[in-house]
Amino acid sequence: MKTTISQADWSARAAEVLPGAGFGNFDPSLIVREGKGSRVWDEDGKEYIDYLIGSGPMILGHGHPEVVEAVQEQLGKGMTFFANSAAGIELAEVLVDAMACADQVRYVSTGGEADMYAMRLARAFTGKDRVLKFEGGYHGMSGEALMSLAPKSLINFPQAVPDSAGIPDSVRDGMLIAPFNDSDFVTSLVEEYAHEIACIIVEPLQRLVPPALGFLRTLRDLATKHGIVLIFDEVVTGFRFAYGGAQEYYGVTPDLCTLGKVIGGGFPLAAVAGKAEIMAHFDKSKVGEKGFTFQIGTLSGNPVASVAGLKTLEILRRPGAYQMLKDTGERLMQSYATHLGAAGVAHQIVGEPMLFDVVFTEQPVRDYRGTLKNNAAHANAVNASLRQSGILKPDSKLYAHLALTEEDLQQTDAAIAKAAAQL
């Protein structure tokens, strides 16, 4: 007979062998036992409707039978080869066909790696060193990415603030930081430093904050004018906002984009995709030793992840998938608006239907500093109430997905109503 180990016991064991008792991701007190469809269960058997969905990859829900079947078939053929596979080549063809900016693809295992290599590739292509990013923008865990992600000190732009120990000052000095959605500021900054800037890297939807009308177009025009590589970090938005990603959804095409999460169907897989003349710097035979951008990875293009991604993207191409995702998100947004409005709680619903959350403030939210106006006590109370009601979500996001049922949405609505009333 199998012995049941409680969450508390697992947490105690984790504290002995894991810094902070966790993996560095979500609340370490939650030990997930399994997931199926729209739901997950913890080690104590508590059931949740899952809006965390692995931080985004499980857009079809957990254990989609067609994805599981494809993975099981591949497992019988081999798990990884450190060599090309037909599945990886086919997936690259699908990615190139989907993304407007993509002529070619290079695989890595994580979105953070993809962002790191995209910035390095831009430097190789332009011969310039500086990176322009936006305060509050998340681009993985590299030294460049951990500049002004969530700065505690709101110093003057364009100076960067490191968000982690262990990053040399020289990395900070290679960065320029601008406020998101401020076209005038970024134009002035680029005009001043254009001769030094290799790339502009941006989340088309920054965390939750949508781009202001014309902002992404301004970045496109500035990059084109000054020979700067425009990088869209589409690790989150790729194949979520539209089949062609945020570049399709917002109608602006970058030079490079980074992809992750959805493209691996729940397995570790990410990619840099972009124009052939830039991607050529991954090919020494085309650019020579001096221009070559060195990149290898043991699991890059892993065949199990590739077949999971291929099947996931095939399902997303089916008629009605994105309309269903949008409709579901809009219904969840309306639940928040209705119940928080009825309770008289000041709030802004920030984001797009496919990815959004509530910021508890009366002021519009246009950038990172706008999110700091959030009433943290209200946000924490709502999230805690939702968790108690069996709704699992990140602290500051909610991912709509295709596994959600009518029962799930009704239960979620009731949970939101309860949380709003408690405020």
Active site residues: 138, 233, 261
Inter-axis angle of helices 321-342 and 406-422, nearest 10: 20
Which SS3 state, helix, strand or coil, does residue 259 take?
A: strand
Q: Which residues of 50-59 are buried (b: 16+ CB within 10 A; e: fewer)?
A: bbbbbebbbb
Write the DSSP string, 393-421: --TT-EE--TT--HHHHHHHHHHHHHHHH
Distance CA 77, CA 147 (A): 43
Which SS3 state, helix, strand or coil, does residue 274 take?
A: strand
**Structure tokens given for 319:** 């008629």
Distance CA 211, CA 356 (A): 13
Write the DSSP string, 343-380: TT---EEEEETTEEEEE--SS---SHHHHTTS-HHHHH
Q: Where are the beta strands (DSSP E) in 281-322?
A: none
Inter-axis angle of helices 376-388 and 406-422, nearest 10: 130
